[in-house]
Amino acid sequence: MTPEQSPPSPPLPQPQRVAIAELLRGIAPVADELGTRFEAAGHELALVGGPVRDALLRRPGKDVDLTTDAPPERVLEIIKGWADNVWTIGIEFGTVGLRKGDHQLEITTYRSESYDPRSRKPQVQYGTSLKEDLRRRDFAVNAMAARLPGHEFVDPFGGLTDLRDRVLRTPGRPEDSFGDDPLRMLRAARFASQLGFSVAPDAVAAMTDMAGRIEIVSAERIREELSKLVCGQYPRQGLALLVDTGLAAHVLPELPKLRLEIDEHHRHKDVYEHSLIVLEQAIAQEEDGPDLVLRLAALLHDIGKPKTRRFEDGGRVSFHHHEVVGAKMTRKRLGELRYPKDVIAEVSRLVELHLRFHGYGTGEWTDAAVRRYVRDAGPLLSRLHKLTRADCTTRNRRKAERLRRTYDDLEVRIERLAEEEELAAIRPELDGNEIQEILGIKPGPLVGKAYKFLLDVRLDRGLIGKEAAAEELRRWAREQGLIEGDA
């Protein structure tokens, strides 16, 4: 039975009525007052989409999304003199934003949108029916509305039933929905991650058949959905859907490539499964909500392994320097997805450093090595701690406990050294001006070389005092032939 043929939804049960009432109470009297203005002007207005869904799920939400049959120019006329502030940055897509008191609202004209196969931009056409506007939405759980000011609940495509069944289903044929906007395939995986819902089999089949269509969507829109997916409550569920349907091959191809072949002669960990576990273990250490940089680093930390895999004698498998290769691949992929430069730099640096701890052995590092570890991590040290701990996925309890104790020991040493020195901002004991004065030189590359030498002294020997640092500098300069005698 198609959504058009499905019987009307039963009356809204009492718990859901309460949830909708609470949602509307939160923005009343603003919503009803605005609804009354639209009604008086001969137009419809309804609360729609995510806010309604989240209210029914009892999930806190900040968005107030409204829809109307009034075109944007008419919306501006209706709210003129009533709204405290108005912005029209999305007006070409039919959206007008406004602020009234403490509330920010977006009003979008009923619409339908689709992609031309040769264009990355959606084509927007306005509609006149709330039902048809709901029909063009991505999933039935997002195709529910509450009319204003009467609060009539509108659910023509069974979204409430889908909420109960925890399933994502398109209002119409999934092929039509995904054809109109291929990004909806990625949104299916994102909502699976955020809500923990399954995706209807016909939608999964359509995603698999149409995966290549995602390439028509801009990198920026893909990035936004991918970030929301990775930062969801159930990211494994969303990522697995991307891989299983073939979408990942187009938006994050490094992920499915982690599914390396494992035969009886070359046994090693399933790198794909290992990466998902590392992601989950990194998430378990988060303290202040989702950390996009940490999660991306956990997911991508081993993407250099397929390129560096070598079969050794005795059936062993090696991945030499996969962290260096992986860091380069991470920079390339995140760059293509148009991530901000700071995110690219931080994620790729964590990927590059994620194996550094394994040189620690059972504590053989000198204090100088510990200082270098802290210096190289810089402001990423806390995240590196979490990533390194998450990277232990061995089922051997004794090995896992040994690694945990060893890293505990490293953190204790870092804390001890931090109390003795300013580890977080390690610098030479002489600055550039002092270097120039001692050596009698002018600003230039030579000052940088001297500065680097003194930084190595600081890392190797800790704080030795300015006089001793000056003497080391003079000794170095004499060895370099820069000065003579006892200058």
The whole-angstrom separation of Cα 364 and Cα 438 is 36
Which residue from 275, 225, 280 is spatially nearest to 255, judged by alpha carbons? Answer: 275
Sort 211 into a burial class: Cβ within 10 Å, 0-12 / 13-18 / 19+.
buried
The whole-angstrom separation of Cα 160 and Cα 57 is 10
Let me know: does 333 contact 252? Beta carbons within 8 Å: yes
Q: Please give the backbone phi and psi of residue 34, each rounded to the nearest 5 degrees, phi first.
A: -70, -40
The whole-angstrom separation of Cα 273 and Cα 219 is 26
Which residue from 474, 476, 470 is spatially nearest to 487, judged by alpha carbons? Answer: 474
For the chain, what's the residue count? 487
The whole-angstrom separation of Cα 89 and Cα 62 is 20
Cα-based distances in Å from 60 to 21, 52, 164, 287: 14, 11, 18, 20
The whole-angstrom separation of Cα 344 and Cα 324 is 15
Let me know: does 272 contact 259? Beta carbons within 8 Å: yes
Name the region of 154 (left: φ>0; alpha: ψ -120 to 50; beta: rest): beta
Q: Read off the pTM.
A: 0.79
On the CB side of 363, CA atoms within 13 Å amount to 11
Domain boundaries, given as residue ranges, for the chain: 1-165, 289-424, 427-479
Let me know: does 58 contact 142? Beta carbons within 8 Å: no
The whole-angstrom separation of Cα 58 and Cα 53 is 9
Please report, to the nearest 10 degrees, the dihedral formed by the alpha carbons of residues 420, 426, 430, 436 taken in order: 180
In this predicted structure, what is the pLDDT of residue 267? 47
Cα-based distances in Å from 184 to 3, 43, 191, 296: 18, 29, 10, 22
Residue ranges in 183-270 assigned as alpha helix (H): 183-195, 201-209, 219-230, 235-245, 248-251
What residue type is 331 in one-letter code?
R
SS3 346: helix
Which residue from 69, 65, 45, 70 is spatially nearest to 54, judged by alpha carbons? Answer: 65
SS3 463: coil
Task: Say how far residue 140 (Cα) sits from the centre of its chain.
Answer: 25
CATH class, range 1-165: alpha beta
In this predicted structure, what is the pLDDT of residue 25? 66
Specify which residues 144 forms β-bridges with.
Answer: none
Specify which residues 65 forms β-bridges with.
Answer: 106
475, two tokens:
């000794």
Sort 280 into a burial class: Cβ within 10 Å, 0-12 / 13-18 / 19+.
middle
The whole-angstrom separation of Cα 3 and Cα 92 is 30
- Evaluate the CA torsion angle 81, 87, 92, 96 in order and state its sign: negative
In this predicted structure, what is the pLDDT of residue 6? 42
Going residue by residue through the chain, which has 487 residues, state the pLDDT in tens, using 9 for 90 and above.
Answer: 444 444 444 566 666 666 666 666 666 678 889 999 999 999 999 999 888 898 888 876 677 899 999 999 999 999 999 999 999 988 888 999 999 988 889 999 998 655 666 665 666 778 889 999 999 899 999 999 999 988 888 999 999 999 999 999 999 999 999 998 999 999 999 999 999 999 999 999 999 999 999 999 999 999 999 999 999 999 999 999 999 999 999 999 999 999 865 544 444 458 999 999 999 999 999 998 999 999 999 999 999 999 988 887 777 887 888 999 999 999 999 999 999 999 999 999 999 999 988 877 666 788 888 888 888 898 999 999 999 999 988 888 888 888 888 888 888 888 888 776 655 557 788 888 888 888 888 888 888 888 888 888 887 787 888 899 888 888 888 888 776 655 4
The whole-angstrom separation of Cα 176 and Cα 292 is 33
351, two tokens:
């990927």
Let me know: does 283 contact 257? Beta carbons within 8 Å: no
In this predicted structure, what is the pLDDT of residue 366? 82
In this predicted structure, what is the pLDDT of residue 4? 42
What residue type is 51 in one-letter code?
P
